Amino acid sequence: MNLPRLRAEFPALVATGPEESIAYLDSACMSLVPRPVLAAMEEYYTRFPGCAGRSRHRFSTAAGERVEAARSAFGRWFGLGDAGPVVFLRNATEAINLVARGYPWRRGDRVLVSDQEHNSNLVVWQRLASERRLRLHSFALSDDGGFDLDRFAAEVDRHRPRLISLFHTSNLDGRSLPVRAIGEIAHDRGAETLFDGCQAAPHEAVDLKRIGADYYAVSAHKMLGPTGVGLLLSAPGALDRIAPLNLGGETVEWTTQERHQLRPPPYRFEAGLQNYAGIIGAHAGLRFLERAGLDRIRSHQAGLNAIATRALADDPRISILGPSAPQDRPSILGFTLDGVDPHDAAVFLDEGYRVLVRSGQHCVHSWYARRGLTGSVRASFYLYNTAAEVRRFVRGVRELLDRIPARAVPPPVRASGRRSGRSPGPGRRADPS
């Protein structure tokens, strides 16, 4: 599949008037949806709008077949095989919460996270530390994107966690962790692993058997699929240890007035009527990614990131977050602008250049708080973006800096390992992320 020709498959990118088409550089938040995904969802509602698995008529049978086909496809995609344990949920946040709240904890058990986790992989552990007397520990990541495995092993030896829960790829600066080596260190010391795979799965092949992940959380809305569909994948047998968050229809084999028998995983975790159209649409998104090719996508977005990085890296008012080399953060370019509020930058790029980027604290508030930063700007690249869009983005950033005078004395804050980070200025808006 030719990537430049794919743009026509994304209705949101089709220009409808004399203005330039939208340059959508916010795929790390949510990817756009191609026509085959929309068609698959419409097909469900127009041809077989039934409850999967609940009735014996043709609508129900067709819906059930499509849902199980999606489950098998995701199992194969993540290296687990057709019968791999794949739970359909609302999003990766629910998947992380399912593991966190359903795990067979003992008083005093310990959980280890990094200091750069998305709130979805931090807040639930803070709550459980209070409710169930777990002990939550975190370790600091290097600002330049490096990862010291020896130091990590020492942290594991020091805290003796029962579960290590980390991102695979950061939504803040695009770095990826050496998850296979992390898993080996964890398992050698008797710990299990949970990885937030939201930013990795849309861009690279993830073989869960090879990396040895016990639990892996994914959101379909970052993989060309619709909103409202997430997945929890696991090693064989790992879900047997997890108690369901919700119980009710479809989770039980039988009930009496006094007792019930749960169905085996993954069905015991899928209570109530499911988002059948969304699951079918997510499968269509997966097929689209398969045709496009993950290696081609990764190479394409790394090339786009390199264009932007080369154009902006030498500006003294721009501080790039994370690794300096774009190939080490191919899908994301995060940065601060000296003297410019990140939200103002995003509005300027949208209104002046029709370039859509993310601004704020990217649901990693704790990282910014420790560094005294109010937020940053994040441009994220995907298969439908073009070099022309990236150059338009660069022109917008440069014009914005030309319009706003530099401050005489930058604050003594480090935002990255490449140069001293400049605060993006006093925040004038609350950050909802």
pLDDT at 403: 94
pLDDT at 418: 43
Regions of the chain with pLDDT less than 70: 1, 408-433
CB 335 within 8 A of CB 376: yes
Q: Which residue has the tokens 């073989």?
A: 207
* Arch. (CATH architecture) of 3-30+294-403: Alpha-Beta Complex (3.90)
148-178 burial code (b ≥16 CB/10 A, e <16): eeeebbebbeebebbbbbbbbbbbbbbbbbe
pLDDT at 17: 73
pLDDT at 423: 38
252-286 burial code (b ≥16 CB/10 A, e <16): beeeeeeeeeeeebbbbbbbeebbbbbbbbbbbbb
Which tokens hold the place of 122?
């931090």
Spot the catalytic one: 29, 51, 198, 363.
363
Measure the CA–CA gap between 376 and 345, rounded to whole angstroms: 9
pLDDT at 1: 59
Tell me the per-residue pLDDT of 298-347, one tens digit each, with 9 for 90 and over: 999 999 999 999 999 999 999 999 999 999 999 999 999 999 999 999 99
pLDDT at 204: 96
Which tokens hold the place of 289?
């990614």
CB 198 within 8 A of CB 188: no
Measure the CA–CA gap between 113 and 111, rounded to whole angstroms: 7
CB 378 within 8 A of CB 362: yes
Which tokens hold the place of 80?
């687990």
Angle at 71 between CA 68 and CA 72, to 5 degrees: 90
Which tokens hold the place of 90?
């609302």
Q: Which residues contact 175 (CB under 8 A, 6 or more apart)?
A: 141, 145, 169, 322, 323, 328, 329
pLDDT at 405: 83
Residues recorded for the chain: 433
pLDDT at 411: 52
Report, in angstroms and rounded to the nearest whole number, the Rg of the chain calculated over CA atoms.
Answer: 22
Measure the CA–CA gap between 228 and 88, rounded to whole angstroms: 10
Which tokens hold the place of 197?
């795979």
pLDDT at 433: 45
Interaxial angle between packed helices 179-188 and 149-159, expressed in degrees from 0 to 180 and rounded to the nearest 10: 30
Tell me the per-residue pLDDT of 70-88, one tens digit each, with 9 for 90 and over: 999 999 999 999 878 999 9
Active site residue 29: no
Spell out the domain ranges in the chain: 3-30+294-403, 37-290
pLDDT at 422: 38
CB 375 within 8 A of CB 342: yes
Q: Which residue has the tokens 């979805």?
A: 120
Highest CATH level, class, for 37-290: alpha beta
pLDDT at 53: 82
CB 281 within 8 A of CB 289: no
pLDDT at 363: 97
CB 266 within 8 A of CB 85: yes
